[in-house]
Structure 1
């Protein structure tokens, strides 16, 4: 009896946590975050009520408009649209644990593998036509698992060097740097002309080293042909030595006094606010920046974006085009046919075209990208996909013991030390964690001797 009561209490607490962990955004007003029991789904005159969860805020108004159109054309289906802005992954876990999962939900490149392994996702092959499937590129471990599709792409994000055009002109620099050495020299020149006004050549959001390196060093490494998270797909082993010249360049800019003072405690939004005020010469980030400087932090400067620098000006790989998935259907949904009808609607040509042309992000669907017009947002042209943007394979995730590579490189950047020794230690610890995961059956990793990062080029733009 005691065990039974304990289990019941656990479920009650779990449901309370689920209700409290996020916010709801539906239509013009709030509704309960946890949907009604599936036994009550057919309410309001036998309507099927589908729940749709997303983590995306930028497209919320547009999505509500499309839901209204779908409901008008399908009066027997109602969509409960929920935008969760905090702890989305935890909310999904809690929803499945309490048998209250949404019928459809947003998946991303850093969550779809985990959701698939946990059994949250319904394979979509039987719910879409062959013509539908032919429009999309299957991407192993990004939307394709064991030969079945669990989501389809819509849009993705490119990464670029963002720079202050006004400051470049003041320093007499007529183009953004194309090599790491040029980036170091440019940062020094920008600082020389701007320091008196509190302006410095370079910055990153190093309050979170992982975020800072993943939005900067990763893109540079990938363009040079190295895995952006330190994994070598040819050998099937971790090797972070490809980051060495990048970290050395960051270290040199820091030592030169070319970086914004205090960036060690800077988060991304405060960094953007400083850039919008003209206090930063360069930084590296995602293609979400144009909308930030149009809406969130209106830029008081002229700015532009360019391809991140390479080691020596030669491109040997492709900068990661992040995306490849969008919507999925819950394995636990009791209304999969209706959910599939809504999913097919959302993946319609016009909606996918609107996502690109309205500037939510760049389409990852070739047929859409080939006919889409550029969004009318200042600066977005610099982020437009080129032949050097491509989707990398997904690297294995391991539970490494001790310091992670981003933290170790950040420490070197501000303190110096023996970088070769640091890299050797990181490779040893990451591969020990990899071997342990393989031995336990948690991972199945094999080398791919034929892997060539140049083949990732021209995936979306010919």
Structure 2
């Protein structure tokens, strides 16, 4: 329908008539008549009925408008996005994983947005807010998040005589050691922690005041060799060596963690919060025996990597004002409260009073969230498995912390500073 409207406008303009006006830009009046707003969301994100209510509210404000929603699978999303955003009639609103936004913002495919236009922008979860930014500008509005937490078996805690959830790293190690003493099997881990599990291990670096990389002037520099980062790596390595029997040559996946805990090979895992539901479904007898708490750091909750989604408006949207309106609604207090009650982590710490259960645990953890370095080359670091190699080298004893960190820093700098 929008294509036909543009064709009619072209004909009128050719005849000297200035009767066509599109949607206003950011903050402008939306003058479009009947048409469509195309919204692309990802599978298994917000509940369908919630999105339908947002659509109905926007349609009611713009008589004749139809909000058309397309649901995409995470696998293969990049190809569909690139093709659509390069076309003449791209979708107006897209849900993107928070690790996806940077590349598209840098390419010019996304519209710049204004934080002040969005409710609760001052209390957005830091990791999601960082993920939506590029060169000091906002391109992706935080939608919902997810963090890793410690998931444990209450029955095994009771068996080991552990009567409270650990609140510090020292207490976490003590609990894991008690679990191993109470379950002396050769393959039992107090805390199941594979050697290449980068998103479980990196928080130890941030907990000690370190970081992965930093930009100095126009160049990136690896920062894993700093004293703070090395201390965090030692803290991680000491814990893994003492309480984990997990393989050192693998990263992790949901099935591996779920089975380790469900089959009694460990008393604790550091996993994504939604794994609790999968555990209860696969091992029904454990459904009421599962608990969760934030990953403990040296002095309180450990900073964790935050996953999740951001909402973006395409730079080529024919209805930018209405697209922005749709994003404002679903990311504001009203609908974020509904998201929270459905079990998702809302985008703002101001909503901590409406979350419960494992979502409340995530909210506490997310208050100290972090995100990967804001470089368009970061995915190349990830693909090269630089960090996974470093963690395995340390865990296996192949390299010292200092040696492994120096190797990783060199590779990180080479990749992030590469041109072309």
d(CA) in 2 for partners of 1:181, 1:251:
14
In the TM superposition, what whole-angstrom CA distance separates every residue of 1:317-353 from its partner, at most 9, and x where no partner exists?
9614636973221111222233233233323431121
SS of the equivalent of 2:403 reads helix
Query: Once superposed, what is the RMSD of the aligned Cα atoms?
Result: 3.9
| Aligned residue in 1 for 2:343 | 359
Matched, 1:112 2:94: no
| Matches of 1:387 and 1:92, distance apart in 2 | 28
Other-structure match for 1:288: 274
- Does the 8 Å contact 2:38/2:91 carry over to 1? yes
Note the residue ranges of structure 2 that are not aligned, 5 or more in a row.
8-32
- Write the deviation string for residues 148-176 of structure 1: whole angstroms up to 9, x where unpaired: 43233243333322222221221122334
SS of alignment partner, residue 394 of structure 2: helix
What is the CA distance between 1:92 and its match in structure 2? 0.7
Which of residues 286, 295, 299 is equivalent to 1:314?
A: 299
TM-score (norm 2): 0.74
Does the CA contact (< 8 Å) of 2:206 and 2:229 recur in 1? no
The 3-state SS of whatever aligns with 2:140 is coil
Partner of 1:406: 388
Please point out which of 74, 87, 90 is paired with 1:101: 90
Cα deviation for residue 120 of structure 1 reads 1.2
Shift of 1:177: 4.3
State yes or no: 1:220 paired with 2:208.
no
Q: 2:325 & 2:155 partners in 1: Cα distance?
A: 50
Match of residue 355, structure 2, among 360, 374, 378 = 374
Tell me the CA shift for residue 121 of structure 1.
Answer: 0.8
In 2, Cα distance between equivalents of 1:318 and 1:266:
20
User: What is residue 418 of structure 1 aligned with on the other side?
Assistant: 400
Counterpart residue number, 2:81: 92
Aligned CA distance change for structure 1 residues 419 and 233 (closer, same or farther; 3 Å): same
Aligned partner of 1:59 in structure 2 is 46
Conserved 8 A contact 1:151-1:327 = yes
Residues 3-152 of structure 1 mapped to structure 2, 5 A cutoff: 38-39=3-4, 47-67=34-54, 69-70=56-57, 73=60, 74-85=62-73, 86-125=75-114, 132-133=117-118, 135-137=120-122, 142-145=131-134, 148-152=137-141
Deviation, structure 1 residue 271 = 1.5
Which residue of 405, 411, 415 corresponds with 1:429? 411
Contact map agreement 2:91 2:314 (CA 8 A) in 1:
yes
* 1:159 partner SS: strand
Deviations 1:182-219 (A, max 9, x none): 5445434323323559753222466xx3xx211x1122
Distance 1:107 1:278, change over 3 A: same
Three-state SS of the structure 2 residue aligned to 1:102 is coil
Instruction: Give 1:175's aligned residue.
Output: 164
1:50-108 C-alpha deviation (Å, 9 max, x unpaired): 22112251424234432453366244122221221222223211222344531110134
Counterpart-to-counterpart distance in 2, 1:249 and 1:146: 33
1:19 alignment partner in structure 2:
none
The count of aligned residue pairs is 381
| Aligned mates of 2:235, 2:213 — CA distance in 1 | 21
Matches within 5 A, 1:190-269: 190-196=179-185, 199-204=188-193, 209=196, 212-214=197-199, 216-227=200-211, 230-232=212-214, 237-241=221-225, 242=228, 244=230, 247-248=233-234, 258-260=244-246, 264=250, 267-269=253-255
Instruction: Determine the structure 1 residue equivalent to 2:15.
Output: none
Given the two structures, how large is their TM-score scaled by the length of structure 1? 0.68
Q: Deviations over 1:407-444 (max 9, x none)?
A: 2312432354433222222223323444x34xx5x8xx
Q: Which runs of 5+ in 1 are unaligned?
A: 1-35, 443-462
Change over 3 Å in CA distance of 1:314–1:249 after alignment to 2: closer
